[in-house]
Amino acid sequence: MATYKGINGFAVQSVASDPSPSDEGQVWYNNATYAFKLASFTAASWASGGNLNTARYVLTGCGTQTASLAFGGYSTATTGATELYNGTSWTTSPATLGTARYSLSAAGTQTSALGFGGYLTGVYKNNSESFNGSAWTATPTINTARSSMAGSGSSNTSALAFGGNTVPGNSAATESYNGSSWTSVNSLNTARRGLGGLGTQTAAIAVGGNANPGSTITGATESWNGTSWTSNPTGLNTTRAELGTAGIQTSGLAFGGYNVNPPLTLTGATELWNGTSWTSSPASMATSRYGFGSGGTQAAGIAFGGIPPGTGTAATEEFTGATATTKTITTS
């Protein structure tokens, strides 16, 4: 008859406290509580959240899974509509962007956000606006007008803008915001548009994007230390542009986007960043899409809006990372 030791190569250990970390299926005896224990894991997954009130695409957003902010984008026309999410449903704010636009970027939280750049009627925009939870206020403009850039930052007074699309093509420009002005700082190593950004003003990640005006989709990853960008030797496992991101520089999440252009091939693939490399998650978005808003953390991400369908979707999806639990073995 097979034994635990014969299967696993070691006997059940007797310990004074539960081991951490533990491997799935690991069994041990806790001699302080006089109980046999089992390590069990719940797989990562995506689940449906509440729909946006205004279906749209090429919007932006920020915040957490239970306190998100969505604004701007395109539906049947360019919109400055702003919505707040409480983890269950979206509420339309009476406040709208001062300059309605799409393909803009964001940084901050639901009650302290910054929206910058974008595109409107054939013009790349340099507008920057601050949101305090109830109203938008115009702030000093960014130095390089552009759209489809990435943003990172913790509030409406501490943000970073990088990459994007402008005249005559992709940009590598990086700008830092201190609540009073935007300052041009060291550029990305790879100029690109439709990239993802996560982290803070002084510790950010730039990932993915379209690396030229044609069809070169990249998985390139760069780290920002507050002064300069460093290219990481390993990029995304699934190269993509117009993706969603969540998390911080040492614990990030990338999901969705398109990875061939033309023709567009959408992906719902999800990857986790540990500060050094990307690992593909078995969990994939229910609806592959691009041009959507995103936010949250590596363990609790959120995606809202985007394409498909061609007029934009209102769908929201929430990501829950794999979780470990310890169970007590009983005879019942």
Q: What confidence category does residue 328 fall into, taking pLDDT thresholds of 50, 70 and 90?
A: confident
Task: Report the helix count and the strand count for the chain, using DSSP H and E.
Answer: 1, 30
pLDDT of residue 216: 87
Q: What confidence category does residue 56 fall into, taking pLDDT thresholds of 50, 70 and 90?
A: very high
Is 253 a residue whose pLDDT tops 60? yes
pLDDT of residue 55: 97
Give me the domains of the chain, ranges plus CATH numbers. 4-42 (no CATH), 47-320 (2.120.10.80)
Question: What is the overall mean pLDDT for the chain?
Answer: 93
pLDDT of residue 25: 75
- 270/321 Cα distance (integer angstroms): 11
Contact of 318 with 301, CB cutoff 8 Å: yes
Q: What confidence category does residue 264 fall into, taking pLDDT thresholds of 50, 70 and 90?
A: confident
φ, ψ of residue 91 in degrees (nearest 5): -120, 130
Residues in the chain, overall count: 332
- 221/234 Cα distance (integer angstroms): 7
Tell me the two tokens of residue 138.
């115009």
- 304/315 Cα distance (integer angstroms): 6
Helix (H) / strand (E) element for 271: namely strand 270-273
- 163/103 Cα distance (integer angstroms): 13
- 32/60 Cα distance (integer angstroms): 51
The shares of helix, strand and coil residues in the chain, as percent rounded to the nearest 5, are 0, 45, 55
Q: What is the pTM of this model?
A: 0.89
The 10s digit of each residue's pLDDT in 57-77 is 999 999 999 999 999 999 999
